[in-house]
Amino acid sequence: MKALVYEGPGKKSWREMPTPRIQRPTDAIVRIDTTTICGTDLHILKGDVPAVKPGRILGHEGVGVITEVGSSVTTLALGDNVILSCIKSCGHCLFCKQGLFAHCLGDEGAVGIGWVFGHLIDGTQAEFVRVPYAETSVHKLPARVTNQQGVLLSDILPTGFEIGVQYGRTKPGDVVAVIGAGPIGLSVIMTAGLCGASKIISIDIDANRIAEAQKFGATDGVNSGQADWKKQVLALTDGWGVDVAVEAAGLPTTFDMATQIVRPGGNVANVGVHGKSVELRPQDLWIHNNLRERVGEPLARRCETG
């Protein structure tokens, strides 16, 4: 089969790879019909995720048709059109029962790591993929939902909503700022209104991205390339800052920006994937924000102030 293969930092190839086979009774084989590229894939290609070794098939999002199931799989059938979850779930371990699927203790890939596709096992940017724990790691696609719509539910849209909006504890009337107007930032912007955000500010260095963000639900835009960007953001609030600041770029500078604009009692939600260390400044924040820190899913961190 053809697949997109990681060949080392800055290198990739589209080449023939062995078609996957059932390895465990709980597996399924899915013929991929629709997949996409995640920002995490770009971080891998830059060399930011050293756990990904050369020869790994990339991708962790996809929709496709089941072509084979293991002997223990009873709730799925050949021909089912399914969405693949980007996170594995054995469905039985301590963390899966708590809903912390990103820490699934199943030994596929690695114990305690939920993100395995295109990371620790071969991924979805291929003609076929092996899905471990199939009954709890895929979801049947309703007939009224297209593959193109369904693939957004494989990772990016629910990630933006959960890690950005829900982990940010967005509530009715909140002012939400989203730093970074790429696909994950747009997912946060699209879903912030579901929790009642009254104002959604898109912050980006690219004016075209800000304009697009306003088509997706941003009420305001601020160009962070301008010297007075912070003053502009504060002017859109009561002067004390935003209720929720979502970092959606994965850069040290954007993380620092989020901590600068959050109000006392507000929340910082980190959705971006970081390839370098970021600096949290408790020596400054404790007096201004009474900082408390909480850790969420892998690749996401919420800082709660109040």
Spatial neighbors of 149 by CB under 8 A, at least 6 apart, are none
Are 75 and 191 found together in one domain?
no
Domain hosting 240: range is: 158-305
Are 182 and 286 found together in one domain?
yes
The CATH number that applies at residue 35 is 3.90.180.10
Residue pLDDT, tens place only, 104-124: 999 999 999 999 999 999 999
Higher-pLDDT residue of 94, 290: 94
Average pLDDT score over residue span 11-15: 97
Are 80 and 142 found together in one domain?
yes
Are 272 and 177 found together in one domain?
yes
Spatial neighbors of 45 by CB under 8 A, at least 6 apart, are 6, 9, 10, 11, 12
Are 62 and 94 found together in one domain?
yes
Q: State both tokens at 71.
A: 């002997």
Are 170 and 142 found together in one domain?
no
Are 165 and 197 found together in one domain?
yes
Are 88 and 69 found together in one domain?
yes
In the chain, pLDDT over 90 holds for what percent of residues? 83
Q: Which of 1, 82, 61 is nearest to 183 (CA)?
A: 61
Confidence check: pLDDT of 147 > 70: yes
Are 96 and 121 found together in one domain?
yes
Average pLDDT score over residue span 60-69: 97
Q: Considering Cα of 4, then 117, then 152, then 278, what sign does the dihedral take? A: negative
Could you give the CA distance from residue 294 to residue 286 in angstroms, rounded to a whole number? 15
Number of domain units in the chain: 2
Final residue before a domain boundary, out of 131, 154, 177: 154
The reported pLDDT for the residue numbered 302 is 38
Are 177 and 52 found together in one domain?
no
